[in-house]
Every structure is written in structure tokens, then in C-alpha cells.
């Protein structure tokens, strides 16, 4: 993954290139077809995603909680809280997303703490929401 691809995601847009370079080499671009379950409720949290293109639906016990699209992130709540996944995330369309592994969070905390704070704020806003 290159730094410019990461900078296209709002979460990383204003992070200095030097900081992003430390994380970019450990991220990967993944693709999912429409209907694919990307994250399963109750599953182990070992990564999170930033949507580059496409749309996903977040649901819990059959109730749709949110629709997310390009620039949005998902899967970060379970990682930050050290808990199992708390919802299903299913691709509504074909989806391209940047996948960031759980062990990258510690590198991100050191290199770009502002991104971790934004992720925490996103989780809090969704919980309040």
C-alpha cells in the first residue's frame, strides 16, 4: 500500500507522509463482492477497515444500524475496546477497503496518535448515536 492511497481516506488525510509510511507497508487493499459478510457479530477482532469504494451495511440481530461508504471505517470498536465484534458488516455493493491489522494499532499510537483519537471519537459517536 502506498501513502497516497491512505491519504485518500479522510481518517489519514492530514497525517504527515512520514508517519503514514510507517503504517502503509503493513496495510493491504482487499475486495469483497456484494453480499459478503466482512465482519461477523461475536467474532474475534484482529483488524479494521477503511472503505475506499463501495457500501456496507452494519446490522445487529437483523436490525440495520448504519450504512457506510467511501471514507468510513468499521471494525475499530472491537479492536480499541478489546472485545468481540459487536455487529455484522455485510457488503451491499462490491467493496474495496484498506485492511489494517490489530498489531498496527500500537504503531499507529506512536506514529499518529491523532488517528487513534479520531477512531475513538468515531466509536463514541456511534455508541451515542
Give per-residue pLDDT as tens, 87-97. Answer: 999 999 999 99
What strands lie across the sheet with 47-53, from one edge to the other? 27-32, 95-101, 47-53, 73-74
Q: For 15-38, write each residue's pLDDT tens digit.
A: 888 888 877 877 889 999 999 999
Question: What's the confidence (pLDDT) of residue 129?
Answer: 65
Question: What pTM value is reported for the model?
Answer: 0.84
Between residues 118 and 93, the one the model is more confident about: 93
Q: Can you tell me the distance from the alpha carbon of 58 to that of 41, in angstroms, rounded to the nearest whole number?
A: 10
Residues in CB range of 109: below 8 A, 6 or more apart: 116
Question: What's the confidence (pLDDT) of residue 42?
Answer: 94
Q: Can you tell me the distance from the alpha carbon of 42 to that of 15, in angstroms, rounded to the nearest whole number?
A: 32
Q: For 54-113, write each residue's pLDDT tens digit.
A: 999 999 999 999 999 999 989 888 877 888 999 999 999 999 999 988 777 777 777 778
Kindly list the structural domains of the chain, giving each domain's residue range(s) and its CATH number in brackets, ordered by start. Answer: 3-128 (2.60.120.10)
Tell me the longest C-alpha to C-alpha distance in the chain.
42
Amino acid at each position: 500500500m502506498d501513502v497516497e492511497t491512505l491519504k485518500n481516506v479522510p481518517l489519514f488525510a492530514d497525517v504527515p507522509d512520514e508517519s503514514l509510511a510507517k503504517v502503509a507497508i503493513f496495510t493491504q487493499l482487499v475486495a469483497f463482492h456484494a453480499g459478503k459478510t466482512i465482519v461477523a457479530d461475536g467474532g474475534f477482532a484482529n483488524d479494521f477497515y477503511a472503505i475506499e469504494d463501495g457500501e456496507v451495511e452494519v446490522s445487529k440481530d437483523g436490525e440495520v444500524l448504519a450504512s457506510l461508504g467511501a471514507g468510513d471505517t468499521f471494525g475499530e470498536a472491537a479492536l480499541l475496546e478489546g472485545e468481540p465484534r459487536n455487529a455484522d458488516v455485510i457488503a451491499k455493493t462490491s467493496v474495496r477497503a484498506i485492511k489494517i491489522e490489530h498489531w498496527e494499532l500500537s504503531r499507529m499510537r506512536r506514529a499518529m496518535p491523532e488517528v487513534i483519537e479520531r477512531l475513538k471519537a468515531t466509536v463514541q459517536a456511534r455508541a451515542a448515536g
